[in-house]
Amino acid sequence: MVDDQEIYALIGEEGFRRLVGAFYRQVPGDDTALTSVAVALRTSDYTGALSLVERIEPSSRLSDAWRQYNRGEALAGLHRTDEALAAFEMAEQRFEEAGEGARGRPLAEWSKGRALSEAGRCDEALRTFDRYARLIRDHDPQSAAMALDVAKSCTEIQSSR
């Protein structure tokens, strides 16, 4: 499996923009705005991505699902974990409403698990990655196993008192 870092290294920013643009053409009317958000996220410009995503007026439930998902990614990048989790929950709901639950639910679960893991909330991350693994185990056992490995590598963040 090739990860997005390797793809980006091979095709560069313009190639990545075209690739993401082709993906978001599935969301007519909002594809350009969503592509700009995805590029900002890819370059770790979380503040810029959040600003862009907040200005999108979604034209459909699917568009709103992707808007909420990208909003969650930006908030997670800014370490605003609880807000990110709420955005991922909303994205999951919007994907279901748009008839894309089979694709959107695992994506939202993975992102919630990653945000929790990065925040050092390991018990919650483990439960979330376990839900993700159960969702995809039958058709992608390798990714299911990887999620459980990611969960096991979580390190609790000790609060200073």
The CA distance from 40 to 47, in Å, is 9
CATH number at residue 67: 1.25.40.10
Say which residues have a Cβ less than 8 Å from residue 13's Cβ, sequence separation at least 6: 39, 43
Residue 55 lies in a domain: yes
Give the number of C-alpha atoms closer than 13 A to the C-alpha of residue 109, restricted to the C-beta side.
Answer: 22
Q: What total of structural domains would you count in the chain?
A: 1
The CA distance from 87 to 74, in Å, is 10
Residue 32 lies in a domain: yes
The CA distance from 154 to 129, in Å, is 11
Residue 101 lies in a domain: yes
Residue 33 lies in a domain: yes
The CA distance from 71 to 89, in Å, is 11
**pLDDT tens string for the chain (161 positions)?**
455 566 656 657 666 556 655 666 665 566 678 888 888 888 899 999 999 999 988 888 888 898 999 999 999 999 999 999 999 999 999 999 989 888 889 989 999 999 999 999 999 999 999 999 999 899 888 888 888 888 888 887 654 43
* pLDDT of the residue at 122: 93
* pLDDT of the residue at 160: 41
* pLDDT of the residue at 7: 61
Residue 93 lies in a domain: yes
Which H or E run contains 14?
A: helix 4-24
